[in-house]
């Protein structure tokens, strides 16, 4: 946060501030995802499995490469915190910060969820977002952000909230530990910054501080992805519920979430090749 300045502006301050903004990573420079093919495959989807995520808990789920998954809020407005790993190598995981740099603060149809270095490839691509009508509201807020990190018990303790064990961070740890047989401490090393599914967030106009407001999600909405590699996912139903008031406590009204796993017809993705690992040599020197 920028406080009241202690230094006077230089004579050419206006000229310096007038430099034009340059988009760091123009969208058209990214390798295009085959959205037309994904949409064709989307019309052939067959539901294989539904994983229910209880309120204030998290659950893991598997999505084979080339399958689709939908996150829904079947019983009422609820925010979800999503982690993704390569199912065959947990060191490759969702990289929220780079995804933000590449696609912006909030994700929707056509955006990919990119993986960590040295892989840096699309792990999943969003193929449908029933909340895409929301856009950016008058507060500058939108849905599905990659700016928040996840609610966690460390920050809660730091802020004087005491011990609370159903923060998304702890929920994701318990879910991953149950899925893999790791201890909680081992699982914690794999939990990472999330995609905040259905969460409505932005930065205040004056101080540019992170804010949340009531999620616009309703039963019937979904966010749909195609898995571009074999995925292990974990989804936490945030203790903030619709994140309209508070989180990191049992005060907010919470609902379960669901993850639906779908298979397309076997030939539907013919012509699609999964993204290879990043092509950089990793020499890091001449
Ligand atoms: Zn949370």
Which residue intervals of 75-135 are DSSP H helices?
Answer: 96-103
Give pLDDT tens digits for 72-86: 999 999 999 999 999
Q: How far is the CA of 173 from the centre of ligand 1 (A)?
A: 13
* 3-class state of residue 42 by DSSP: helix
Residue 279 tokens read as 């092509």
Q: How far is the CA of 202 from the centre of ligand 1 (A)?
A: 16
- Let me know how long the chain is: 286
Compute the average pLDDT of residues 180-185: 98
Cβ neighbors of 165 (< 8 A, separation 6 or more) are 153
Compute the average pLDDT of residues 163-190: 97
Q: How far is the CA of 109 from the centre of ligand 1 (A)?
A: 23
Compute the average pLDDT of residues 244-255: 87
Whether 247 and 13 have beta carbons less than 8 Å apart is answered as no
Q: How far is the CA of 107 from the centre of ligand 1 (A)?
A: 18
* Residue whose tokens read 């982690």: 83
Q: How far is the CA of 243 from the centre of ligand 1 (A)?
A: 8
pLDDT at 7 over 90: yes
Give pLDDT tens digits for 192-218: 999 999 999 999 999 999 999 999 999
Q: How far is the CA of 9 from the centre of ligand 1 (A)?
A: 40
Count CB-CB contacts under 10 A for residue 232: 21
Q: How far is the CA of 169 from the centre of ligand 1 (A)?
A: 7
Q: How far is the CA of 149 from the centre of ligand 1 (A)?
A: 9
pLDDT score recorded for residue 28: 87
pLDDT score recorded for residue 27: 85
Give pLDDT tens digits for 118-169: 999 999 999 999 999 999 999 999 999 999 999 999 999 999 888 999 999 9
d(CA 230, CA 235): 16
Cβ neighbors of 87 (< 8 A, separation 6 or more) are 62, 229, 230, 231, 232
pLDDT at 248 over 90: no
Burial grade of 249 (CB within 10 A; 0-12, 13-18, 19 or more): middle
Q: How far is the CA of 204 from the centre of ligand 1 (A)?
A: 20
Q: How far is the CA of 152 from the centre of ligand 1 (A)?
A: 7
Q: Residue 172 has what DSSP assignment?
A: H
Compute the average pLDDT of residues 2-25: 94
pLDDT at 67 over 90: yes
Q: How far is the CA of 121 from the centre of ligand 1 (A)?
A: 26
Q: How far is the CA of 283 from the centre of ligand 1 (A)?
A: 39
pLDDT at 1 over 80: no
Q: How far is the CA of 90 from the centre of ligand 1 (A)?
A: 22
pLDDT at 70 over 80: yes
- Average pLDDT value over all residues in the chain: 96
């Amino acid at each position: 946060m920028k406080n009241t300045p202690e230094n006077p502006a230089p004579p050419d301050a206006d000229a310096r501030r007038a430099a034009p903004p340059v988009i760091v990573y123009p969208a058209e420079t990214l390798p295009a995802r085959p959205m037309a093919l994904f949409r064709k495959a989307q019309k052939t989807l067959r539901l294989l499995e539904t994983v229910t995520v209880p309120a204030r808990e998290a659950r893991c789920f598997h999505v084979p490469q080339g399958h689709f998954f939908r996150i829904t809020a079947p019983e009422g407005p609820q925010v979800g915190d999503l982690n993704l790993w390569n199912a065959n190598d947990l060191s490759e995981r969702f990289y929220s910060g780079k995804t933000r740099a590449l696609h912006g603060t909030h994700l929707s149809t056509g955006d990919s969820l990119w993986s960590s270095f040295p892989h840096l490839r699309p792990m999943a691509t969003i193929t449908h977002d029933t909340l895409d009508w929301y856009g950016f509201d008058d507060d500058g807020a939108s849905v599905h952000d990659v700016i928040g990190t996840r609610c966690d018990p460390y920050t809660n303790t730091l802020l004087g909230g005491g011990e609370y064990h159903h923060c998304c961070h702890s929920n994701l740890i318990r879910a991953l530990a149950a899925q893999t047989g790791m201890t909680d401490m081992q699982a914690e090393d794999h939990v990472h910054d999330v995609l905040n599914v259905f969460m409505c967030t932005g930065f205040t106009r004056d101080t540019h501080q992170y804010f949340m407001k009531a999620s616009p999600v309703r039963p019937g909405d979904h966010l749909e992805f195609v898995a571009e590699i074999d995925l292990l996912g974990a989804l936490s139903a945030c203790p903030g519920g619709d994140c309209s008031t508070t989180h990191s406590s049992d005060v907010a009204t919470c609902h379960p979430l669901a993850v639906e796993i779908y298979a397309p017809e076997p030939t539907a993705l013919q012509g699609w090749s999964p993204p290879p690992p990043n092509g950089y040599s990793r020499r890091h020197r001449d």
